Amino acid sequence: MVCSGKSRFVRLAKVLMIVCLCFLFAAETEIHAEKSGVQLESASLERIVRMALQKPEGELTREDMASLRSVAGYRVTSLKGLEYAVNLRELRIMNGDVSDLSPLSGLRQLQNISLYDNKISDLSPLRELNQVAHLDLSMNKITDVTSLQSMTTLKTLDLSVNFVADPKPLNALTKLVSLDLSDNFIADFSGLQDMTELEYLNADGNLFTDLSPFGHLDALLTLNVTNNKVKDLTPVQQLKFLSVEISNTDITDLSPLETMSTLKVIYGANTLLLNERSKQFIEKFKAVGNSVYPDNPYTSPKVFINQEVQMFPVRPIQNKGRVMVPLRALLEWIGAEFIWDGKTRQVAMSYKGSEIILTIDSNEMLVNGKKQKMDAKPYIEDGYTMVPIRFVVESFGFNLEWDGKRRWVMLSVN
């Protein structure tokens, strides 16, 4: 009897324990349900997502996010919260302040990504996205493209207006048909020999002089080498171009193009000092129905200090004929001392006994106490003070040479 009572007691205890556990699990499930709401860190992204879902109000759930197939919009500051859009196929976020791509790292269904004009530098979160065919990362802050070499499904890639100096990791992208590396800092394009399907290559506005690395790209139909110090077209004469863009180069001889029977369009011959034979070739080329278009495309100015190109934290721009550069980076190279006065919005700079005082949004400057006029006003953009480089460096006694063809500024010490 004692044993029987004890057994009943044990069974009752077990039942009570199970009931308690059930309550605990129920409570945990309720908490989980409460936490299933998704918070999007960027208000702009939330508006974009709600429009895509046609859900202007109410909690955004993980189920909502999982139903998204395409997201597109502008001025987004963060992608946080988008990691729940696990079935997303297309993402287009432009003209924003996105810097962290980690929310995309698990979105394995993505096929088309455009993140034009943001603040991206780290591409490592994209490594495992093995279905992406089209990727636009133009106008960002990218220097290292190593993380892209695993994205072997890519067919089009736009890395224009970045800070790329070494394109070699891209050689792994053997399915690429279109590659835009314009307005970067590439002095050597060798190492891309496996891009056997590449049809379009834009290398405008870089630092190379030799076309030999392009000579093996047998599928290439369009090549743009504008705004580079290229002189010789011979290395590509065996290719079958449909069009070639050669504005603002140092090419004088077009004879390597004479045997290119596939060629239909030439851009930028108007900017070249062609020899007589090449001038005659252009006339014959047009006479048989082909096209020659004038061209003078813009690329960002580059600044060379003692023959070494500088990668400033923001790109120099040309404003009213003057090249504007970030002041702090320039002064740090010069070795000048400077003080910022937030009340007067003035910068006082001194170097080897000379003093310059600039006022933001004013074209007046003081050089050793004397007023001088500038034809471009300093201004602040994205937290950087942009100043006309010529006025500053020449006032401090530096030499400045201007390559108007390619918009290169070359500084040297007197």
Assess if residue 318 is contained within a domain. yes
- Boundary of a domain, candidates 243, 266, 293: 293
For residue 41, pLDDT beyond 90: yes
**Contact in structure between 80 and 41 (CB atoms under 8 Å):** yes
Q: What pLDDT is stored for residue 5 in this prediction? A: 47
pLDDT-derived band at 10, boundaries 50, 70, 90: very low
Q: Are residues 164 and 282 in the same domain?
A: yes
Mean predicted lDDT score pLDDT of the chain: 92
Kindly report, residue by residue over 96-122, the tens digit of the pLDDT: 999 999 999 999 999 999 999 999 999
For residue 15, pLDDT beyond 90: no
Kindly report, residue by residue over 128-183, the tens digit of the pLDDT: 999 999 999 999 999 999 999 999 999 999 999 999 999 999 999 999 999 999 99
Assess if residue 92 is contained within a domain. no
Classify 235 as helix, strand or coil.
helix
Q: What pLDDT is stored for residue 32 in this prediction? A: 36
Q: Are residues 285 and 147 in the same domain?
A: yes
Q: Are residues 223 and 312 in the same domain?
A: no
For residue 195, pLDDT beyond 70: yes
Assess if residue 320 is contained within a domain. yes
For residue 24, pLDDT beyond 70: no
Q: Are residues 213 and 149 in the same domain?
A: yes
- Boundary of a domain, candidates 238, 264, 293: 293
Assess if residue 374 is contained within a domain. yes
Q: Are residues 246 and 184 in the same domain?
A: yes
Between the alpha carbon of residue 49 and those of residues 69, 74, 82, 238, the distances in Å are: 11, 12, 9, 50
Q: Are residues 354 and 333 in the same domain?
A: yes
For residue 190, pLDDT beyond 60: yes
Assess if residue 51 is contained within a domain. no
Q: What does 178-189 look like in DSSP terms, one character per residue?
A: EEE--SS--S--
Q: Which two tokens stand for residue 165?
A: 């100096």
Q: Between 216 and 34, where is the model more confident?
A: 216
For residue 23, pLDDT beyond 50: no
Q: Are residues 242 and 377 in the same domain?
A: no
For residue 212, pLDDT beyond 60: yes
Q: Are residues 332 and 278 in the same domain?
A: no
* Residue 263, domain extent: 142-293
Classify 320 as helix, strand or coil.
coil
Q: Are residues 273 and 376 in the same domain?
A: no
Of the listed ranges 3-17, 38-52, 284-298, the one predicted with least confidence: 3-17
Q: What pLDDT is stored for residue 319 in this prediction? A: 84
- Boundary of a domain, candidates 262, 293, 324: 293
Assess if residue 319 is contained within a domain. yes
Q: What does 107-136 look like in DSSP terms, one character per residue?
A: -TT--EEE--SS-----GGGTT-TT--EEE
DSSP at 389? H
Domain count, the chain: 2
Assess if residue 128 is contained within a domain. no
pTM of whole model > 0.85?
yes
Q: Are residues 286 and 306 in the same domain?
A: no
Q: Are residues 220 and 307 in the same domain?
A: no
Q: Are residues 154 and 288 in the same domain?
A: yes
pLDDT-derived band at 298, boundaries 50, 70, 90: confident
Q: What pLDDT is stored for residue 58 in this prediction? A: 96
Assess if residue 251 is contained within a domain. yes
Kindly report, residue by residue over 71-85, the tens digit of the pLDDT: 999 999 999 999 999
For residue 244, pLDDT beyond 60: yes
User: Residue 337 sits in a domain of what CATH number?
Assistant: 3.30.457.10
